[in-house]
């Protein structure tokens, strides 16, 4: 198995990417190989600094970089030898089993849509993220940014995608799916959420438990939390701020430590024909390492095949 990493993506690349890849290679020794994609002149000296610890890493050359501020679609189209474009090409041809990047989020989404492409039947892929549960384990929240405006059928599919991930990757049997809303009652919410509720209620592929409220984000009421990308992104950023505030006030707690983006490393794109993960732009070596470990976990679980099989039926 091979897990690819965009070595040029992120505010601290390529140093953080190489350091994180070396950490992940040690964790995955005998299980998977890490493939770095980037500019040889920039990456090779950093690998050499790690000596034998980096011996198992493979380097694939990519001469171009899609910068954070570039227009995603235009840059992806014009820079076909960028680390992101090359990474998706390797993923599409099956040369790697997962592709991870802390680079331009929009370009990662463009690559997912136009390279590996959405699974037939999936209206719009979703970016997922993870929320720690107060009494242990993790839940999954989607969408968190790919689709700011959604149709009811899209949110219904988010429930299915999240349920599959929770079952096959997180190991949750019969995961509970909740719809984020402003009240628990069936008739509450906007025209959109009311329509989604009716669709999820009769969907045989999910264990729908009804509406949930913002206060239920971290309790055990739902394992899968469904919302549009606008709402999900606001909730995600608020959760991240809780960790930052506590760190600033020098308050430590094992539960709130899980709010640190480094603990998970990245957000999977669900609903595409392969495994791709988007990391935080400020990813540290630890975050990069955990993103790569998540990529391995996704590839090992066969989640993309599970999604294909579900939407084919």
Residue at 205 is within a domain: yes
Are both 113 and 27 inside the same structural domain? yes
Range of the domain at 194: 123-260
Residue 178 is given by DSSP the state E
Residue at 137 is within a domain: yes
Q: How far apart are CA 285 and CA 255, in angstroms?
A: 22
The pLDDT of residue 20 is above 80: yes
Are both 248 and 294 inside the same structural domain? no
Are both 137 and 190 inside the same structural domain? yes
pLDDT on residue 313: 63
Residue at 266 is within a domain: no
Higher pLDDT, 180 or 252: 180
Are both 247 and 131 inside the same structural domain? yes
Q: Quick count: other Cβ atoms within 10 Å of Cβ 127?
A: 28
As a whole number, mean pLDDT of residues 170-185 equals: 96
Best-predicted range by mean pLDDT among 36-40, 50-54, 235-239, 260-264? 36-40
As a whole number, mean pLDDT of residues 230-234 equals: 95
Q: How far apart are CA 164 and CA 101, in angstroms?
A: 23
Degrees to nearest 5, angle at CA 166 with 163 and 171: 135
pLDDT 10s digits, 84-128: 999 999 999 999 999 999 999 999 999 999 999 999 999 999 999
Give the count of alpha carbons within 13 A of 42, CB side only.
22
pLDDT on residue 262: 84
Are both 165 and 196 inside the same structural domain? yes
Residue 194 CA: distances (Å) to CA of 4, 67, 143, 183, 236: 41, 40, 17, 11, 23
Residue at 312 is within a domain: no
The pLDDT mean for the chain works out to: 95
Give the count of alpha carbons within 13 A of 170, CB side only.
28
Burial 148-181 (b: 16+ CB within 10 A, else e): eebebebbbbbbbbbbbbbbbbbebeebbbbbbb
Residues, the chain, total? 313
Are both 25 and 99 inside the same structural domain? yes
Give 74-110 as a DSSP string.
Answer: HHHHH-TTBHHHHHHHHHHTTS-SEEEESS-HHHHHH
Domain count, the chain: 2
Contact of 159 with 224, CB cutoff 8 Å: yes
Give the count of alpha carbons within 13 A of 273, CB side only.
17
CATH at residue 202: 3.40.718.10
The pLDDT of residue 261 is above 90: no
Are both 275 and 235 inside the same structural domain? no
Are both 106 and 127 inside the same structural domain? no
Residue at 307 is within a domain: no
Identify how many contiguous H helices and E strands the chain contains and give both numbers.
Answer: 11, 11
pTM: 0.94
Least confident of 61-70, 224-233, 243-252, 273-282: 243-252
Residue at 306 is within a domain: no
Are both 130 and 209 inside the same structural domain? yes
The pLDDT of residue 17 is above 90: yes
Beta-sheet pairing, 207-212 with 176-180: parallel
Are both 59 and 140 inside the same structural domain? no
Residue at 310 is within a domain: no
Residue at 153 is within a domain: yes
Are both 26 and 107 inside the same structural domain? yes
Are both 284 and 182 inside the same structural domain? no
CA 146 to chain centre: 11
């Amino acid at each position: 198995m091979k897990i690819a990493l965009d070595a040029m993506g992120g505010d601290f690349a390529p140093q953080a990417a190489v350091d994180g890849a070396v950490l992940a290679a040690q964790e995955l020794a005998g299980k998977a190989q890490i493939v770095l994609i980037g500019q040889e002149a920039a990456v090779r000296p950093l690998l050499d600094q790690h000596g034998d610890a980096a011996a198992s890493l493979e380097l694939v050359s990519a001469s171009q970089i899609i910068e954070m501020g570039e227009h995603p679609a235009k840059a992806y189209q014009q820079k076909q030898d960028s680390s992101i474009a090359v990474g998706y090409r390797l993923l599409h041809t099956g040369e790697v089993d997962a592709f991870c990047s802390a680079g331009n989020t929009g370009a990662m989404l463009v690559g997912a849509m136009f390279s590996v492409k959405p699974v037939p039947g999936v209206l719009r892929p979703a970016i997922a993220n993870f929320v720690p549960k107060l009494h242990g384990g993790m839940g999954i929240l989607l969408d968190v940014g790919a689709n700011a405006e959604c149709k009811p059928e899209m949110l219904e599919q988010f429930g299915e995608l999240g349920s599959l991930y929770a079952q096959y990757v997180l190991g949750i049997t019969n995961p509970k799916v909740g719809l984020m809303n402003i009240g628990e009652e069936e008739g509450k919410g906007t025209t959109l959420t009311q329509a989604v509720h009716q669709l999820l209620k009769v969907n045989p592929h999910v264990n729908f438990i009804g509406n949930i409220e913002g206060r239920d984000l971290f309790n055990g009421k739902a394992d899968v939390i469904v919302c549009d990308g606008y709402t999900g992104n606001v909730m995600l950023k608020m959760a991240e701020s809780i960790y930052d505030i506590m760190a600033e006030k020098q308050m430590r707690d094992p539960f709130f430590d899980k709010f640190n983006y480094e603990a998970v490393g990245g957000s999977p794109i669900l609903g595409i024909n392969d495994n791709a993960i988007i990391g935080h732009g400020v990813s540290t070596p630890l975050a990069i390492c955990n993103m790569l470990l998540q990529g391995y976990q996704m590839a090992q679980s066969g989640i993309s095949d599970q999604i294909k099989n579900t939407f084919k039926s």
